Amino acid sequence: MSNFHVTESGKTLVTLIPGDGVGPEVVDSTIRIIEATGAPIEWEERHAGERVFLEGQASGVRQDTIDSIRKTRVVMKGPLGTPIGYGEKSANVTLRKLFETYGNIRPAREYPGVKTPYSGRGIDLVVVRENVEDLYAGIEYMLTPGVAQGLKLISRKGTEKIVRLAFELARAEGRESVVAMSKANIMKMTEGTLKSVFEEVSLEYDDIESWHVIVDNAAHQLVKLPEQYSVLVTTNMNGDILSDLSSALIGGLGFAPSANIGNEVFIAEAVHGSAPKYTGKDVINPTAMILSGVMMLRHLDMFEEAALIENAVITTLEEGKVMTRDVVGDERQGGTTGYTNEIIKNLGKKPTDWKIREYKPIKLPQLGAAPDFVKVKTRQVCGVDIFIESASDKISIGESMERICEGRDLYLKMVDSRGTMLYPPNDVMTDTVDAWRARFMLRDDAAELNDAQLIDLLQAVAAEHMWAHVEKLQRFDGADGFTKAQGED
């Protein structure tokens, strides 16, 4: 756990980012409740999001905000808007990447007084989502004017961190199972990394039940029988989708707290957006932000204050005297302020029909800083894929590549379009586009393709075709580090 910044007054300093739209309202609600518990916290207000984009800062994050986070290591952040048409990446994503908050923790638990089609089912789960890599690395290219490509980056190191975090969270919260959810049946190397690492690491946690589910079946099961799950661990994009699905089961994003957690920095944030049309109307539900604050307090080892707030929130919902407009539309509607006041009034009370969970500190995984996390004994470059742009047909392209191989140590293994092999000629009926991949392999399977051979080949291809990019085909410890096209032997 990080070393927190303690002020001269003996309080823990927290970077406070009010956010955009309704952000300042839900953040103010949370601050009032935290301060009412007497939690020894001092706030350092900084800014990110829309106002910073408008200042001309393309990242949406000011330098003084970054400096504050480096100092405090703990952030409470309201929702940030991502303007369309200016700025670059989302300020939320920028913050996660800058501070390696590799885990996104999203609890979804049934709340009293919040009626849903699942009321009474006892939903109580947590989605643990990898937070910085996968397709969210944001590495995209236009291969041709009509074909886009995105790189899905999954590292062994990043995967092991998120898997260990999931198991450690289960232990910290007294949970009995962890389930991995992946698309390893299709993406055997990227999504498959999650499955294989999960199965390996799970052996160290024999006190916790574990199993793997294909992610589309997982979504089906979450809707059909969500109470079977406790901790779910998954890759970035899958986790983004499944965590939103999970929050819908228990009342929506107004009840969806979250934490972005890393070994150095912790960022508490509500999942919902900035909802600008409700700004200043005192109607927004602050529960998600309040419970995100509860997660922050636990991270700060302030478990007593966290329990006070969680019990007060549940008591308020259980009593149902004052609620927000998204839950009720009658005289019990008290708005953001009235609901907050009711929670403060209920501090010290415990709900009558709610299982109070005992929390312990989460033991964060420590895997070391070495970039070359996976070591191999042997490696071999055995071929190369060259991606080209062409409006020609598969036969013409294939025959051209065959001619290019004449007199060289390489042969043409296949040509594909959109992952389906079309050359050597076959009877596959598929619509082609102008992005093609030609796979060349060394004639001597035990030989090594050197850069001079590769450049010579690329120049020969370039004389006849417009090439877009190149991928070396490598074997690590004798295992292919590349997949085959559909139909390739």
Per-residue pLDDT band for 331 (boundaries 50, 70, 90) equals: low
Per-residue pLDDT band for 296 (boundaries 50, 70, 90) equals: very high
pLDDT 10s digits, 221-273: 999 999 999 999 999 999 999 999 999 999 999 999 999 999 999 999 998 98
pLDDT 10s digits, 372-386: 999 999 999 999 999
* Helix, strand, coil percent content, the chain, rounded in steps of 5: 35, 25, 40
The two three-digit tokens of residue 319, written as one number: 């009593």
Question: C-alpha distances in angstroms, 190 versus 6, 8, 238, 306, 416?
Answer: 41, 48, 12, 38, 21
Kindly report the average pLDDT of the chain as a whole number.
94
For this structure, is 216 an active site residue? yes
Say if residues 430 and 393 touch (Cβ distance below 8 Å). Answer: no
Catalytic residue among 124, 240, 385, 416: 240
Give the mean pLDDT of 83-112.
84
pLDDT 10s digits, 423-471: 999 988 889 999 999 999 999 999 999 999 999 999 999 999 999 999 9
For this structure, is 183 an active site residue? yes
pLDDT 10s digits, 56-88: 888 889 999 999 999 999 999 999 987 665 556
Catalytic residue among 102, 111, 136, 423: 136
Tell me, what's the pLDDT at 114?
93
The two three-digit tokens of residue 99, written as one number: 């501070």
Say if residues 457 and 408 touch (Cβ distance below 8 Å). Answer: yes
Residue 201 burial (CB count, 10 A): 20
Tell me, what's the pLDDT at 88?
61
Per-residue pLDDT band for 2 (boundaries 50, 70, 90) equals: low
Give the mean pLDDT of 345-359.
92
Q: Check whether 144 has a pLDDT greater than 80.
A: yes
For this structure, is 152 an active site residue? no
Per-residue pLDDT band for 1 (boundaries 50, 70, 90) equals: very low
Secondary structure (3-state) at 172: helix
Handedness of CA 10, 11, 14, 19 (dihedral sign): negative
- The pTM of this model reads 0.93
Is the domain covering 1-100+262-375 a CATH 3.40.718.10 domain?
yes
Sequence-separated (6 or more) residues with CB below 8 Å from residue 89 = 59, 60, 138
H or E stretch covering 340: helix 335-345
What phi, psi does 261 have (nearest 5°)? -125, 135
Residue extents of the structural domains in the chain? 1-100+262-375, 102-255, 379-480
Percent above pLDDT 90 for the chain: 85
Question: C-alpha distances in angstroms, 136 versus 92, 99, 373?
Answer: 12, 15, 21
Say if residues 364 and 105 touch (Cβ distance below 8 Å). Answer: no
Q: Do domains 1-100+262-375 and 379-480 have the same CATH topology?
A: no
Question: C-alpha distances in angstroms, 403 versus 410, 464, 472?
Answer: 11, 11, 21
Catalytic residue among 64, 67, 216, 477: 216
Say if residues 349 and 74 touch (Cβ distance below 8 Å). Answer: no
pLDDT 10s digits, 174-231: 999 999 999 999 999 999 999 999 999 999 999 999 999 999 999 999 999 999 999 9
Sequence-separated (6 or more) residues with CB below 8 Å from residue 486 = 416, 419, 420, 421
Tell me, what's the pLDDT at 84?
62
Give the mean pLDDT of 118-131.
96
Tell me, what's the pLDDT at 83?
66
Is the domain covering 379-480 a CATH 3.30.70.1570 domain?
yes
Catalytic residue among 183, 195, 394, 413: 183
Q: Which CATH superfamily is domain 102-255 in?
A: Isopropylmalate Dehydrogenase (3.40.718.10)
pLDDT 10s digits, 15-49: 999 999 999 999 999 999 999 999 999 999 999 99
Tell me, what's the pLDDT at 368?
83
Q: Check whether 332 has a pLDDT greater than 80.
A: no
Tell me, what's the pLDDT at 3?
80
Give the C-alpha separation, 17 to 27, whole Å.
Answer: 8
